[in-house]
Chain A
Amino acid sequence: MGAQIRVYRNKISSTESMKKIFKAMEMIATSRINKARQRIHSASPYANALTRLLSLVVSQTSGDHPFLRSADDVRRSAVVVFSSDRGLAGSYSANVLKKVEGLLEMMHNDGREVKVYLIGRKAKQYFDFRGREYEGYWEGETDNASSDRAHEVADVLLEQFTTDYEDGGIDEIHLVYTRFHSMVTQEAKVLRLLPLEVVDANALDDRISREYPELETNSQEFGFEPDPEEFLDKALEQYIRARIYSCVCQAAASELASRQRAMKAAGDNADDQIRKFTRLMNNARQAEVTTELTEIVSASEAL
């Protein structure tokens, strides 16, 4: 058998086995994505309730709280990167890392110190390869959102945020994650978690009544137990946990959606490749047959 045919046959069989992997990964992503979307959905009542509570408190207190007060000049920021553990998810991690690059550059230009926290092996590889430093790192289960992970991240960040700058604390927290709009649209985004951007109570109220009209509050005086300050302390901490959890959920759903799309495209490409190689192989076989025939004919003529 001709060497060329063998080469094509090998190519076809390896493409076929890759195609099986793509198909399997696509199917896994598809089956898990619904669960991930369900998570986003079921986390929202909690976030809504907290947002509403916070707006009430903020509108009735002076709002002079470390979590709300924006430091005039931010000296040290924390950036949390939500990437994936595994590749084969198209440009999912690359998009997030691109956003991170932009943010880091902006911060360096402002002369701020930055502490980077990474979630997912892909982000770690990226930073390790470039010899960059990072403060914290979590891996595993990036496509399977869990509230435990969110709590771990939140604990670290809250501790850092409540530490003074002189003792190595941070003034500001940014999250870089991929927002899940729909199965076909996901967008890498930078979110400033702390200090909260909703300092203006009226703006917050407006936003809430616009986004959740059913939560319209009657603006009567609220009684607090124990007092507004302590309430704010607790509520803000929970709010931050909820925000981080929501980012974890969004990132997981986005990762699965990207992976599903990338694997679908890869599977389709594999089909194209197999078709192309099959044609080339047939061509080569035909050419071989023709050559042999010509040889036999010319040999018999020579006799």
Chain B
Amino acid sequence: MADPLIVEIVELAKPLWDGEATQVIVRTTDGDLGILSGHVATAGVLVPGRVVIDPVNGERIEGRVDGGFVSVDGNRVTIVADHYEGPRTADD
């Protein structure tokens, strides 16, 4: 299996979710963007919509963002969210 994606969701005041995943789907201004391991380096503007993450271990995660950015660089996926609702790994 290809190397897993290293995913991180951060919001202005705090980091919200991080972990390894096989697939990430976000909605950019150009439409849904599915990210698998080995994706070309990309930076995109997010529009309000869902964020779907398939973690390496465990159930699929679905959340929502009100906007923000996504960057893919190597296998590192960073979602800089304006406002994120959904499962978290970081404490409040």
Contact = CB atoms under 8 A, between A and B. Distances in A.
A235 B69 contact: yes
A234 B73 contact: no
B45 A242 contact: no
B43 A231 contact: yes
Interface stretch (B6-14, B48-56, B58-66): B6-14
A221 B11 contact: no
Nearest to A151: B12
Contacts of B40: 223
Contacts of A225: 28-30, 33, 42-45
Interface string A215-240: 00110111111100011001100100
B63 to A, nearest CB: 16
Nearest to A42: B14
Interface size class of A (residues with CB under 8 A): 20 to 34
Contact of B12 (A57, A218, A242): A242
A49 B71 contact: yes
A56 B69 CA distance: 13
Interface string B17-29: 0000000000011
A53 interface: yes
B8 A49 contact: yes
Q: Which of A45, A230, A241 has the most CB of B within 10 A?
A: A45
Main SS at interface, chain B:
strand
B10 A222 contact: no
Contact of A245 (B8, B12, B69): B12
A112 to B, nearest CB: 31
A230 B15 CA distance: 25
A46 interface: yes
B86 interface: no
Contacts of A224: 42-44
A52 B80 CA distance: 11
B24 to A, nearest CB: 14
Contacts of B45: 225-226, 230-231, 234
The 8 A-B pairs with the shortest beta carbon distances in the complex, nearest first, are A225-B44, A42-B14, A46-B10, A45-B15, A225-B28, A223-B42, A225-B30, A45-B10
Interface of A: 39, 42-43, 45-46, 49-50, 52-53, 56-57, 147, 150, 217-218, 220-226, 230-231, 234-235, 238, 241-242, 245
Given A234-B69, A238-B69, 15 more contacts: A43-B12, A43-B13, A43-B14, A45-B14, A53-B43, A53-B69, A53-B71, A53-B80, A56-B71, A218-B74, A221-B41, A222-B41, A222-B42, A223-B42, A226-B45
